[in-house]
Chain A
Amino acid sequence: MRKPLFKTSFTLASTLILALSISACGSQNSSENSGAAATVAPTASGQASDTPAAKAPVKISYLTFRVGTHASAKLEEEQIKQFNAKYGKEVEVVVEEIPSDSAYEDKLKILAVSGDVPDVVMGKNGINDILIKGNLVTPFNDYLDKDPEWKAAVGEAALAANTRDGKVWSISDQKQNIGYFYNKEMFEKAGIQPAQTWDEFMSNNEKLKAAGFVPLALMTGENAWTTNLILAALVGTNGEAGNTFMNTLHPTDFNTPEMIQALNMMKTMLEKYTTKDALGAGYANAANAFSQNKAAMIANGPWMIGDFSDPTKSSADFDKKVGVAAYPNNSLISTYEVGYMIGAKTPETRDAAEKFIRFKTGIEGQTIALEYGNVMPVSNEIQPSDALKQKYPLFVESIKLAQQTQVHYQSFDSIVYPNITDAWKSLYPKLVFGQSTAEEIAKELTKIAAKHK
């Protein structure tokens, strides 16, 4: 009885020693593509001595969550590939992949509070505020002044969106123009057109329901994305005050008539016009409800268009059934992403980081993003290629929509504090199960905003 254990433990031990030696060998060359900027220095100098003629490329660290199944994974890969082909000799981008957006945010916040920021940072969901406050990033003003071409490619509006006190803290890499997609077949059967007013929107819901369809693919889990887009439209189209609210960074008072009205309407939609699993559902649930012909509408941006012709995600020929529409009152969500920031600390890495960001946000980078990820460029100069237009006619429609609409406002995620974004998932069930009224939810949101430091 005892022998087998000893035998196995012996084998185990010898495998271990073997593995140890492998990993020890491995760690020497592994630091080459590892992201720990602080620990790679000795190896880097060692390499430099091998080829004294050429200057060793400057290493910069870059964290990205655009990996795996992320909608922008392909464009990220392509941008880095093309950057390496062009500038690989001068700059070496050490990429750290962080699967899932929330894990990315968590890690960056931990790094920020410890003062160790990667050289290139995406400042999404409040990370930019933390880094600016902590004096951990460098503004772009000098770099932009030196390169007017780049400045033009990014455009005044995008720059203005990320300027605080005259300093440009980040360069936006994309414009998000978000309306909603709808199932033409279902709309036809219900005898309706995309709504021009909110009354019509609600009566459309009723007609779709009467025709036997689920009108909306909503979800309140995660960041309540598809639900909050409609909520943003409800607030943003509600007069001057509502529109101003939805264009203000970090609103602190949610106890407004527009907000309360919108929450009440959303309550009705969640109760009557959506899938049974909308409360607590994640994006995947909502997306599948729409792409599998279970719901008639979903609010989301053009990056989703590729999924409609992907057979693993959508039913056959689904892309032919989909139309795109603006929200009632001829309006659209329109935001500039926060984009990239320079976290590098030394002059060399700062310049290298700037070079990488310039590539990503310049004409080349934006074109790649457009062609590989259906991402709306920030520059008006960039037009989709004919191939893209042919492949995704819906994308062309989305661009048209952006030009036709007159009222614009931002999404909640881009204006509120991160702890509000995190709170929706617990607030919506509270609202729908009648634990709190819309007024109480609005007050609670105000309270939550006050808690953010």
Chain B
Amino acid sequence: MVRKNKGYITLFLLPTVVLFIIVYAVSIVILFGTSFTEWSSGRKPVFIGLANYIQLFTDDSDFRKSFLNTGVWVLLQSTIHVAIGTVFAIILNMKEFYWKFARTVYMFPNIISGAAVGMLFLCMLNPDFGAVNSIVRLFGNADYAQNWFMDYTTAFFSVTMTWLPYAAVVTILILAEIAAIPESLFESARIDGASELKINFYIILPMLRNIIGTCVILAGTSMLQKMDIIMMTTGGGPGNETMNLPIYIYKTALMENNFGYSNSVGVFLIGFGLVFVLLCRNLFRIGSSQN
């Protein structure tokens, strides 16, 4: 059977491979190649070996901070974020009166573009007229003027809160997967007298291993791309408190006109992501069939 299908396998894969080459392969080659050069707009790239990488690891505190932040955000997103989404999916799956409404509404912040979400939070958290401070003032503290995005004590937290609770994508992915679990499994468990809680824990959750693994990868790696919300709200500040690798890449290339160096950060980011993805794939044994 396998031999018979070989032609079809190629046929089914070819268009995606072409798409991949157009959109990514050229970028990867340029990215990788120029990461070993000194290259700025207006000049030809000059090969300088590993100099960019050496500088990156030995003498760049902004890079270290960006990497640290990126790492923390990947970690938070692949754990807390996914957990919120999973728990919510399981609650919605009980199909209580609000479930359709809640599922739709939860998706709203994910539907809206990152830039618009950023703008929205910027206004909501404005120290002067923002909704959050206005509410606090209603409760008596008339002079309350917390500067959420700029104060060192709250900046990282505020930025994180613009995406961490919004796990609707995880929720719908998991809901779809739960729907695919054969009903017969639940029924036999119910006949055996298992409580809903137990069914959720011992039957549903284990069946979700693959999709949760997928969610962890998607959620975690989305933090390797996160830029628009941060740019709109803190711009990486105060200082470099909320700087991450994508913003650092953007800044070194377009603000410092240092494309070679920027691309070496890009290569590093890809390497970091690869390690993360491989780790997750092994952890969740993704790719192996469930049954």
Contact = CB atoms under 8 A, between A and B. Distances in A.
A280 B150 contact: yes
Contact of B41 (A134, A275, A279, A422): A134
B234 A133 contact: no
Nearest to B240: A426
B237 to A, nearest CB: 3
B110 to A, nearest CB: 23
A131 B257 CA distance: 12
A124 interface: no
A136 B42 contact: yes
Nearest to A280: B150
Interface in A231-284: 275-277, 279-282
B149 A276 contact: no
A74 interface: no
Interface string B202-241: 0000000000000000000000000000000011111111
Contacts of B129: 277
Given A133-B43, A280-B147, A430-B239, A109 B256 contact: no
Given A106-B254, A130-B41, A419-B251, A276 B235 contact: no
A148 to B, nearest CB: 32
A6 interface: no
B258 interface: yes
Interface string A136-172: 1000000000000000000000000000000000000
A452 interface: yes
Interface string A182-199: 000000000000000000
Nearest to A214: B128
Contacts of B43: 133-134
A435 interface: yes
A453 B238 contact: no
B40 interface: yes
Given A451-B256, A453-B40, A276 B239 contact: no
Contacts of A419: 251, 255-257
Given A130-B41, A134-B41, A277-B147, A113 B259 contact: yes
Interface string B141-152: 000010101111
Interface string A424-453: 011101100101100000000000000111
A125 to B, nearest CB: 10
Nearest to B60: A451
Contact of B126 (A220, A277, A452): A277
A132 B257 CA distance: 14
A16 B150 CA distance: 47
A102 to B, nearest CB: 9
A425 B254 contact: no
Contact of A435 (B40, B42, B239): B239
A131 B42 contact: yes
Contact of A452 (B130, B238, B256): B256
B273 interface: no
B42 A433 contact: no
A433 B41 contact: no
A31 to B, nearest CB: 22
A276 B257 contact: no
Contact of B257 (A109, A220, A426): A109
A134 B39 CA distance: 12
A422 B255 contact: yes
B128 A280 contact: no
A378 to B, nearest CB: 27
Contact of A133 (B42, B151, B239, B243): B42
A134 B40 CA distance: 9
Contact of A426 (B122, B128, B130, B236): B236
Interface residues of B, number: 33
Nearest to A127: B41
A343 interface: no
Contacts of B237: 280, 425-427, 429-430
Max chain B Cβ within 10 angstroms of own Cβ: one of A132, A133, A134, A221: A221
Contacts of A430: 237-239
B41 A109 contact: yes
A240 to B, nearest CB: 31
Contacts of B126: 277, 281, 285
Contacts of B109: none
B127 interface: yes
A422 B251 contact: yes
Contacts of A418: 255, 257
Contacts of A71: none
Given A429-B239, A435-B238, A134 B127 contact: no
Contacts of B149: 280
Contact of A279 (B147, B241, B257): B147
A276 B251 contact: no
A130 B42 contact: yes
B151 A433 contact: yes
A388 interface: no
Contacts of B241: 426
A109 B42 CA distance: 10
A44 interface: no
Contacts of A289: 128
Contacts of A132: 42
Contact of A433 (B127, B238, B256): B238
A98 interface: no
A73 interface: no
A435 B238 CA distance: 9
Max chain A Cβ within 10 angstroms of own Cβ: one of B128, B129, B236: B128
Interface in B116-148: 122, 126-130, 145, 147
28 contacts: A109-B253, A113-B259, A132-B42, A134-B43, A135-B42, A136-B42, A220-B150, A277-B126, A277-B147, A279-B238, A280-B234, A282-B122, A419-B251, A419-B257, A422-B235, A425-B237, A426-B234, A426-B238, A426-B240, A429-B150, A429-B151, A430-B239, A433-B152, A433-B238, A435-B152, A436-B239, A451-B256, A453-B257
Closest 10 A/B residue pairs (Cβ): A134-B42, A426-B237, A429-B238, A133-B42, A453-B40, A277-B128, A276-B145, A280-B150, A419-B255, A113-B41
Given A112-B41, A130-B42, A276-B127, 17 more contacts: A109-B253, A109-B257, A110-B254, A112-B42, A113-B42, A276-B147, A277-B127, A280-B147, A280-B234, A285-B128, A418-B255, A419-B251, A422-B251, A425-B237, A426-B237, A427-B239, A453-B258
